[in-house]
Chains A and B, each alone.
Chain A
Amino acid sequence: MSNLATVESFVEGAPPGELADVIADIKSLTVSDPGLVSKLAPAFEKYNEEQFATVKLPGGSQPVIISSHSALGGGRYYDVESSSSFDFDHTTQKASGVQSHALEGAQADLVKSTLKSLSTYVKEHYPNAAYGAYPIENDSKVAVIIVSNKYSPNNFWNGRWRSLYIFDPASGSLEGSIKVDVHYYEDGNVRLLTNKAVSASVSSGSGAGIAKEIGAGERKYQEELNRGFTSLSEGAFKGLRRQLPVTRQKIEWDKVASYRVGQDIGGGSSRR
């Protein structure tokens, strides 16, 4: 693998809210080749669009989303709610050059009504999320994005929940995925990564119907995820190492040689 491909893979693997730390590490590791970091712009763009990076527009109060679905090309993106387009610097993650951007076309009304219903849902379930809806594929479908971040670097953890849905008005199908990424790194490195495909149909085809299906699916998934934690804890984790031996007592190390005999009689050592 070339050095550029190597550092690009590091960028791609940056945990939520830690891209700047990863870049600092890459810079320190490549001081002998300072040109390398300047070649990372495409990797930053890919990372920001895939992770649904959020940015506050100058003078704006709500964060807006960076994604391939909200890209206008040439480093510009747009947001429907604030009716604006802007330049986004993928390296500094700063927005500039805000202009008004009115949404037109066949899906404009559906996008706006979806945003309205989504706003109520997001406020009720996400303490800190950005959301967006955008017409895609020549104005034939609508992409809906929700991204929720919580960063607590002082306590060595960061997290991100991101959902992407594509609604097809022709068939009424809503397809998407929910991804959760949690990083905990105090005296260690622990990572939760999930990916859940979602598939539903919205018979009404309305913005309210889309938001309702999204809400129901996300609730179901989060409940399933919580059960997943419990079953891993009670199942695989317990099966790997017991908290205490069957005797519920710690080992008497001065007598450990005599355990050997009992163990062999019990035949336990043959088990895998």
Chain B
Amino acid sequence: MASADPFDSALDLLRRLNPKHTTTHLQSLISLAPDLTEDLLSSVDQPLTIRRCKQTGRDYLLCDYNRDGDSYRSPWSNEFDPPLDGGVGGDGGAGDGAGAAGVPSDKVRRMEIKANEAFDVYRELYYEGGVSSVYFWNLDDGFAGVVLLKKEAKPGSASEGSWDSIHVFEAIDRARVTQYNLTSTVILSLSASGSGLGDLDLSGNMTRQIEQELPAENDEQQIANIGKLVEDMELKMRNLLQEVYFGKAKDVVGDLRSVGTLSDAGRDRQAQKDIIGSMWAK
């Protein structure tokens, strides 16, 4: 049997090992197989880091898409921190072509500004706190972007949690419509402890994809389309997470051990069968 592709094996491993420590596992995999570094860093989602923008004082989120070397671009000021050598960044020489050093063209940056404002409203309405950041970049036949949202529950209370949303999309120009390809990952960590409960950790990530064609006549429509797609996806994923975290996990525990006695459960099932049987007999 031919051996599996190492990249696939690395992803499979990350799907099995404790998702609470994905960042640690990722570093381990990179040290074990340095050839996979680029591919793994660009395809494995990790919890987002928050940084404060020196120019505006506002918090923004760090990811691979606003990174240039060791510097990260703030969506609020468009400046890199620490500043890039050679003065790239800000309004520096990006023109209408693909942005140098990951900076979008002026046209796409104007959309990025509007998208950040729109998702800041979205963040407040759904998260009532937290941090949001949107980064756009140019494509040959359109543009692409990532919408990031992060919220952390108060540490120190009986239950703790954090939510990270990472929505990566492409918006590709077609004849009359724009084709949107959206890949969304939510990383959700929850934990609780107490004298009766002991320690409980419920952590993980789920990913979903969608493709949709929508008309987009102008920048406002582009942002409205992306907004709707992200909003619908997050609603769907929130429901899914609720089902898996609190429905499925609890059901599996019930499959491992039954609170009631199994003979009672067996008798109940038999009684139910008898009732159904007697109804049919009538």
- Chain A interface (Cβ < 8 Å from any Cβ of B): 1, 3, 6-7, 9-10, 13-15, 18, 21-22, 24-31, 123-127, 129, 148-150, 157, 159-161, 178, 180, 182-185, 187-197, 218-233, 235-237, 239-247, 250-251, 253-254, 256-257, 259-260, 263, 268-269, 271-272
Contact = CB atoms under 8 A, between A and B. Distances in A.
Contacts of B262: 123-127
23 contacts: A10-B25, A28-B3, A28-B9, A124-B258, A125-B262, A161-B256, A188-B15, A188-B205, A193-B200, A226-B259, A229-B246, A232-B245, A235-B159, A236-B159, A237-B161, A237-B188, A240-B151, A242-B127, A244-B235, A253-B228, A253-B231, A257-B118, A269-B120
Nearest to A160: B256
B257 A14 contact: no
Interface stretch (B72-80, B133-141, B219-227): B219-227
A153 to B, nearest CB: 11
Nearest to B24: A9
Nearest to A227: B197
B242 interface: yes
A253 B223 contact: yes
Contacts of B199: 194-196
B228 to A, nearest CB: 6
Contact of A29 (B21, B32, B205, B220): B32
A251 B14 contact: no
| Interface range on chain B (Cβ under 8 Å from partner) | 35 or more
A159 B192 contact: no
Interface of B: 3-6, 8-10, 12-21, 25, 28-29, 31-33, 117-118, 120-122, 124-130, 151, 153, 159-163, 188, 190, 192, 194, 196-208, 220-221, 223-225, 227-228, 231, 234-235, 238-239, 241-242, 244-246, 248-250, 252-253, 255-259, 261-263
B256 A193 contact: no
A192 B249 contact: yes
Contacts of A184: 204, 244, 248-249, 252
Contacts of A271: 128-129
Given A160-B256, A232-B202, A243-B238, A224 B197 contact: yes
Interface hub of A149, A161, A194, A247 (most chain B Cβ within 10 A): A194
A185 B12 CA distance: 10
Contacts of B28: 1, 6, 9-10
Interface hub of B17, B194, B258 (most chain A Cβ within 10 A): B17
